Amino acid sequence: MTSQNQLFETLNPPQRLLMGPGPINAYPRVHQAISQSLIGQYDPVMTGYMNQVQALYRGVFETQNQQTMLIDGTARAGIEAVLVSVLKPGDKVLVPVIGRFGHLLCEIAQRVGAEVRTIDIPWGEVCPPEKVEAEVKAFQPKLLATVQGDTSTTMNQPLEALGEICHRHGVLFYCDATASIAGNELKADAWHLDAVSAGLQKCLGGPSGSAPVTLSDRCAALINQRKHVEAGIRAAHHIQGAEAMIQSNYFDLAMVMDYWGPERLNHHTEATSMLYAARECARIYLEEGAEQVIARHRQAGGAMAAGLQAMGLSLFGDQQHRMNNVVGVSIPGEVDGDTVRLELLNRFGIEIGTSFGPLHGKIWRIGTMGYNARQECVLTTLAALEAMLLKHKARIEPGVAVTAAMEYFG
Amino acid sequence: MTSQNQLFETLNPPQRLLMGPGPINAYPRVHQAISQSLIGQYDPVMTGYMNQVQALYRGVFETQNQQTMLIDGTARAGIEAVLVSVLKPGDKVLVPVIGRFGHLLCEIAQRVGAEVRTIDIPWGEVCPPEKVEAEVKAFQPKLLATVQGDTSTTMNQPLEALGEICHRHGVLFYCDATASIAGNELKADAWHLDAVSAGLQKCLGGPSGSAPVTLSDRCAALINQRKHVEAGIRAAHHIQGAEAMIQSNYFDLAMVMDYWGPERLNHHTEATSMLYAARECARIYLEEGAEQVIARHRQAGGAMAAGLQAMGLSLFGDQQHRMNNVVGVSIPGEVDGDTVRLELLNRFGIEIGTSFGPLHGKIWRIGTMGYNARQECVLTTLAALEAMLLKHKARIEPGVAVTAAMEYFG
């Protein structure tokens, strides 16, 4: 028997304003959707919802790809599903590393047994296409894998030119768009992307725990050559792929495609509540309209940057290539970054982000994403941060940040 | 631009009574918890909730294991996390296969590169301990991996004797308790289990999408020998393990332990809504009390079985070893199983389960789990099934099933 005092209180999380690099506050409609009644995984209503999710995420990814679906896990589950399904041990993969999440792609590819070559870019910059083309020619990779928006540095890697290079050289092109999608332009088909993975917890305005992915027909065909239907559900008509089995069962996209496809071949038990959330995130995005949502992110991010600069703070990295939805800002030398962050949380209920690796202690990262890419969130955050910096005797210019942001909004 | 008619309607799932082998209807309190506001992953409130989840699942697993946490994915994510973290290529694993999910353990272990030996048990039976001991002696495995409750056959594998054998021979002992936990006794420490994984969508009464796992100290130490902290967040004080890196990043339990541990080393972004659900599932279970909840499952499952037998239907498998929470019942020869299931769904909103592989078309599987392990669910399902069987001219005994179940409830 467990005593009553080990059961803890009723869940009652505080109302925070999440202005970090993600996760952020979900759209209210997503909270409604996620709490709806469960239905069986082969209920015709459920399979109907699965088909709708596929159609909706084709809209989000701007693709016609049949193979568009959810991986039941966080954003890095989507990354690993793509890499482990596409790459066999010994396959060559080229990764431009513009921040922490570039390292993650390398690390996952290495665990798969791939041969990884990196293009190491200083943090705060993006990778020039010429460097990619030179390495594609020299290394002849099977796959170019890149992060679009790397929140660790706030940079947004331009993809169109990389897609054109991959297309010309017959290289598969994958990008992790978790942090950038729905806040920055992404055109999977027009940019020759063979695989894209994402997450809900940034500009899509949902909780972490579901990873939308899309695969080009070429990429799907290549993965299906490795198909191996599980014993226990395998039938005579299931053709096993000619190539080496994918080294993960959970992330075997050949089986995941069959689960989402017309045969509905059992794999996992779909995470229904998260699927409800993912469906609502996509509906909200497409209903407002991709261009409008991205413009809203550009405006909110620009206003935040303008306010921070008006205070006298300097921004991190190449501002021409900054993501719309997150800005890195130098921590004034007079204050301790973590103390200010914690006090902002405790006094205002506002969360801003710390940073990783070489940037830790040097910059904060402030996000304006999804539901929080709104004027009131930007102005409130600037007012609160200014007050906190003044309290801690930072040498900033008082009384101008909010005005600068308001002027930016017009 | 996406046209309005591609956006689909507001999410509005029908109210089903889910009496299959899972997923089932979640407890209403779980729906409340999952819809709560999001907070940041390093918010002190969030890390507090993570610690509470660890304590609560220690209660659920009946263990003192420090390493008790959630894997962000469905139940099979938990299975794969354990197997890929424990097993290196070439390691020997012994698997008693009593149904479909035994095959799944083998398949995942094979993809990890392990050497797998099976003990193949006819569907509808469980594995005798003598067979396990003989194979442990002959094969000398590193790990014994078994499924406790295999919903494909409704059998519940007794674990206590297997744990004693593993303990005596120094073999690691893992069990997948997804389908059985919270409806059948499971004592991780008393039964010498080194690893257990589970899911929420059966007797715990939550949605699929979060996989609680627990690891003994011995198992955790072994996994930590393979620890490899990611580049991008690695610091000087991080000691890299001496042994081969785990071949998955997402399922690297060494890193997941650091994420849940005092350092809170960044790995994935915790699926906050699913963690809220997992927390509530465990609170409900421990609040009612393990013994009481298991007794409730035993009673509801027994009443369902009694009602089905009173109708004249025969039950599948060794009834001495049936799980409390799911019963297999022969489909009368006069009716088509899938037609009856679909009509039950369409006319009554009640879902019962089909079956896999050799049992497909021969038995239905009827569950009484979590929130649905209640008298009203049992009686309603029996009344509805009887009506449907009579409509389809099955030769059953009318008018006695519900009474038999009511008598069972007393």
**DSSP-assigned letters across all residues of A106-125:** HHHHHHHT-EEEEEE--TT-
How far apart CA A352 and CA A364 sit, in angstroms, is: 7
Averaged confidence pLDDT in chain B:
96
* Cβ separation A80–B248 shorter than 8 A: yes
Tell me the whole-structure pTM to 2 decimals. 0.97
* Cβ separation B104–A232 shorter than 8 A: yes
CA A274 to chain centre: 16
* Cβ separation B11–A36 shorter than 8 A: yes
- Of B42, B128, B52, the closest CA to residue B281 belongs to B52
The three state secondary structure string of B19-42 is CCCCCCCCCHHHHHHHCCCCCCCC
| Minimal C-alpha gap between A46 and chain B (Å) | 8
Task: State the ipTM, two decimals.
Answer: 0.97
Say which of B4, B250, B286 has its CB closest to residue A76. Answer: B250
Nearest CA in chain B to A292: B1
Residues contacting residue A308 through CB under 8 Å, at least 6 positions apart: A315, A327, A329, A366, A382, A401
Q: Which residues in chain A have Cβ-Cβ distances shorter than 8 Å to B201?
A: 269
How far apart CA B376 and CA B389 sit, in angstroms, is: 20
Binding residue numbers of A for substrate: 365
How far apart CA B189 and CA A229 sit, in angstroms, is: 35
pLDDT at A217 over 50: yes
Task: Report in angstroms the alpha-carbon separations of A14 from A351, B40, B55, B410.
Answer: 12, 11, 21, 46
| pLDDT band with cut points at 50, 70 and 90 for residue B1 | very low
Per-residue pLDDT tens over the stretch B218-234: 999 999 999 988 776 77
Report yes or no: B111 and A248 within 8 Å, Cβ to Cβ.
yes
Per-residue pLDDT tens over the stretch A118-160: 999 999 999 999 999 999 999 999 999 999 999 999 999 999 9
Of B45, B106, B111, which to mutate for an interface test with A (greatest number of A Cβ within 10 Å)?
A: B111
Please determine whether the domains at A24-286 and A290-407 fall in the same fold group of CATH. Answer: no
CB neighbourhood size of B240 (10 A): 11
Domain ranges of chain B: 24-286, 290-407
The pLDDT, as a whole number, for residue B228 is 87
What number of H helices and E strands is found in chain A? Answer: 13, 13
**E strand spans, A151-242:** 155-156, 172-176, 195-197, 211-215
Q: Which residues in chain B have Cβ-Cβ distances shorter than 8 Å to A199?
A: 269
Query: What architecture (CATH level 2) is domain B24-286?
Result: 3-Layer(aba) Sandwich (3.40)
| Minimal C-alpha gap between A111 and chain B (Å) | 5
CA atoms within 13 A on the CB side of B20: 25
CB neighbourhood size of B259 (10 A): 18
How far apart CA B54 and CA A73 sit, in angstroms, is: 19
* Cβ separation A73–B250 shorter than 8 A: yes
**E strand spans, A331-385:** 350-351, 363-367
Could you tell me the fold of the domain covering B290-407? Aspartate Aminotransferase, domain 1 (3.90.1150)
Q: Which residues in chain A have Cβ-Cβ distances shorter than 8 Å to B75?
A: 268-269
Per-residue pLDDT tens over the stretch A222-260: 999 999 887 767 777 887 888 889 999 999 999 999 999
The mean per-residue pLDDT over the stretch A167-190 comes to 98
Which residue has 């997503």 as its token pair? A30
* Cβ separation B74–A201 shorter than 8 A: no
